[in-house]
Chains A and B, each alone.
Chain A
Amino acid sequence: MSVARPEVAPPVEAAAAGITPRTILEWIGNLPLHVAIIGLTVAWIVPTVGLLVSSFRPLSAFATSGWWTALSPPFNFTLDNYQHILSTSNLGTSFFNSFMISIPATVIPATVAAFAAYAFSWMRFWGRDWIFLALVGLLAVPLQVTFIPILSMFTSLGLNGTFLGIWLAHTGYGLPFAIYLLANFFRALPADLFESAEIDGAGTLTVFFRIVLPLSVPALASLIIFQFLWVWNDLLVALIYLGGTPEVAPLTVTLANLVGSLGQGYQYLTAAAFLSMIVPLVVFFSLQRYFVRGILAGSVKG
């Protein structure tokens, strides 16, 4: 984030020389390496591919042969699984419920955390460092430890089984990480930006909204994506606070129920699972680097 980096020419890429006999030789010498990596990677994606292919196979093929046989003629693809599962199960509602839960459960903690993180990074107050340390410590608290008291509280407030309840719960759970991520980023902003703004006469609000926030877009993006995926993929918190009622169940809960209830008809499970993966996969592949940044910020300062 330095504002006055002297011009430095990027180092010339040695490999930009193109394909020469030398590079080909290097390639061959490196063959074991390439084989290892590609082999491992292919093995790594086999489970997912297996599921995807399976989801397009009819039941008859399912119980009698492995999914890889579908990759050679005669192909036997069908959309039946998807059609069936979408019409008979709760998936459509669940899909929408997942959004209804995830979006506010992302927006609220992000906002609350932004204000708090700014205070932790650029304001001085009594106990600041200790409180921050305690915050980081809270990152590892097993959520199980919080369920019973909060459940009682929710029940007496009538929040059990409501979206509002789970929004608030996810906000509380998500704040330590959010504040940690944002505070680290805010702290790295150059001090003289703030000093200059102070001399220019900018007050706290102006500095926050016109300087800090615009400059923090990458960090905010990382936080939002990370939190969104975390909530979208969550099963346990939804089970606890929303119960099992189908009207409010998100995709994860519905999917988990399907595993139990489908018994023999489990070819539909493949379609259901894959449908539940679509949003995360899309978010992941298109916005990967922000997601990775979120991870890095959580363990090693990225």
Chain B
Amino acid sequence: MASVTYDHVVKRYTPETTAVRDFNVEVADKEFMVLVGPSGCGKSTALRMLAGLESISEGQIRIGDRVVNNIAAKDRDIAMVFQSYALYPHMSVFDNMAFPLQMKRMPKADIDTRVRQASGILGLDNFLKRKPRALSGGQRQRVALGRAIVRHPQVFLLDEPLSNLDAKLRAQTRIELQKLHRDLETTFIYVTHDQVEAMTMGDRIAIMYDGVLQQVGTPDDIYDHPANRFVAGFIGSPTMNFVSVTLQNGTAKASGFEVNLPKSVEAQRGILGFRPEALTDRVQDGAAVEMKVDVVERLGSDQFLYGQSGGDAITARVDPRLKVAPGDSVRLGLDTRSLHLFDGETERALI
């Protein structure tokens, strides 16, 4: 059983600096869990505590049923892929992959088998004798993966492995990593700041901010039902629109428009959230937004309008065939089924 459990885990460096607060997550066996959040949110620290590279100030981390708080990194049966790959520059690809097995005092013949097995999976067979400096970025990353695979660990830890690759390679490698996960049938815990990676790769996502876990759920879950304003703004590109509204009798009033809420709420003021795709060129149910367009972005398959409604800046995603020019005023409909309402920074009240 290679599930991973963070149980009320806290990481404190000094009494004033706490990097991770009361972190509780359960990762199921064979799951691909992504820890995502902006820089400094504590995701890498959480990963490193699991790896054994950072000590745990409070709480427990369990791998399977084993509490690993006091177990040395090498004995936790995990493997880690570093952001910079951390390949030994003076060793060949083969030796880099063989190193962890040599540390375990595995017989040479077994080491050979395992390394060749991993290199076969990763397409490194022709590079085994080369040194890292003779490899491209993508190849180096595969060697780093290979070094992790040969250990047959219970859990794979990946710390922003794609951030050193160029955009095209990144997209390609994303797919390869997902395939790898399926083939290896092992738990993956993946840290990134890129919400696209999180959304596309994770079985489930755990979003962190300022050391605190904001929400855990499947990508769809998080996209459609963000637990708070931060999550809503972090996931999805372009970002969700946030507009201050006053609430009265089930109606939310913004400076530029009004809309009826599908549910009644108690608050009198709040922040209305709706994604750019919630604005369409057909007005229904009388929920209309007049938008003065400042910038038009045409991407071929999409068209984004950036502008103002009343005093608020908003973004709309409209049909690319719609003809709009900067300076125009357009009338857009707001889909009331995809509205979110947030209290002053602490919670949401509605979908």
A202 on the interface (CB 8 Å rule)? yes
Interface mask (B88-125 → A, CB under 8 Å = 1, otherwise 0): 11100000000110011000000000000000000000
Residues 1-32 (chain A) with a chain B CB within 8 angstroms: 1-4, 6-7
Contact across chains for B140 and A3 when beta carbons are under 8 A apart: yes
Residues 46-97 (chain B) with a chain A CB within 8 angstroms: 51-53, 73-74, 78-80, 82-90
A-side interface size class? 20 to 34
B-side interface size class? 20 to 34
Residues 224-260 (chain A) with a chain B CB within 8 angstroms: none
Which residues of the partner chain B approach A211 to less than 8 Å between Cβ atoms?
Answer: 88, 90
A190 on the interface (CB 8 Å rule)? yes
Which residues of the partner chain B approach A206 to less than 8 Å between Cβ atoms?
Answer: 103
Which residues of the partner chain A approach B85 to less than 8 Å between Cβ atoms?
Answer: 3-4
Contact across chains for B137 and A7 when beta carbons are under 8 A apart: yes
Which residues of the partner chain A approach B165 to less than 8 Å between Cβ atoms?
Answer: 6
Contact across chains for B136 and A7 when beta carbons are under 8 A apart: yes
B164 on the interface (CB 8 Å rule)? yes
- Neighbour of B74 across the interface among A1, A199, A214, CB < 8 A: A199
Residues 115-166 (chain B) with a chain A CB within 8 angstroms: 132, 136-137, 140-141, 147, 151, 164-166
Whole-angstrom distance from the CB of B66 to the nearest CB of chain A? 17
B75 closest partner in A (C-beta):
A201
Contact across chains for A6 and B89 when beta carbons are under 8 A apart: no
For the complex, would chain B's binding face be called helix, strand, loop or mixed by DSSP majority?
loop
Total number of A-B contacts with CB less than 8 angstroms? Answer: 71
Whole-angstrom distance from the CB of A211 to the nearest CB of chain B? 6
Contacts A4-B84, A214-B90 given; does A195 touch B103 at CB 8 Å: no
- Neighbour of B89 across the interface among A1, A7, A198, A200, CB < 8 A: A1
Contact across chains for A190 and B136 when beta carbons are under 8 A apart: no
Which residues of the partner chain B approach A214 to less than 8 Å between Cβ atoms?
Answer: 90
A196 on the interface (CB 8 Å rule)? yes
A192 closest partner in B (C-beta):
B86
Contact across chains for B82 and A200 when beta carbons are under 8 A apart: no
A193 on the interface (CB 8 Å rule)? yes
Whole-angstrom distance from the CB of B119 to the nearest CB of chain A? 17
A139 on the interface (CB 8 Å rule)? no
Which residues of the partner chain A approach B137 to less than 8 Å between Cβ atoms?
Answer: 4, 6-7
Q: How far is the CA of A190 from the CA of B137 in the complex (A)?
A: 17
Contact across chains for A190 and B86 when beta carbons are under 8 A apart: yes
- Neighbour of A199 across the interface among B79, B87, B132, B164, CB < 8 A: B79
- Neighbour of B82 across the interface among A6, A196, A202, A215, CB < 8 A: A196
Contact across chains for B86 and A196 when beta carbons are under 8 A apart: yes
Interface mask (B200-243 → A, CB under 8 Å = 1, otherwise 0): 00000000000000000000000000000000000000000000
Which residues of the partner chain A approach B90 to less than 8 Å between Cβ atoms?
Answer: 211, 214-215
Whole-angstrom distance from the CB of A205 to the nearest CB of chain B? 12
B48 closest partner in A (C-beta):
A195
- Given contacts A7-B137, A201-B104, 4 further A-B pairs with CB under 8 A are A3-B85, A192-B82, A195-B82, A200-B147
List 8 A-B residue pairs with CB atoms under 8 Å apart, sorted by A's residue number.
A3-B86, A6-B164, A190-B86, A192-B82, A196-B82, A200-B74, A201-B104, A211-B88
The 10 A-B pairs with the shortest beta carbon distances in the complex, nearest first, are: A201-B74, A201-B103, A200-B100, A196-B86, A192-B86, A4-B84, A214-B90, A192-B82, A4-B85, A3-B87
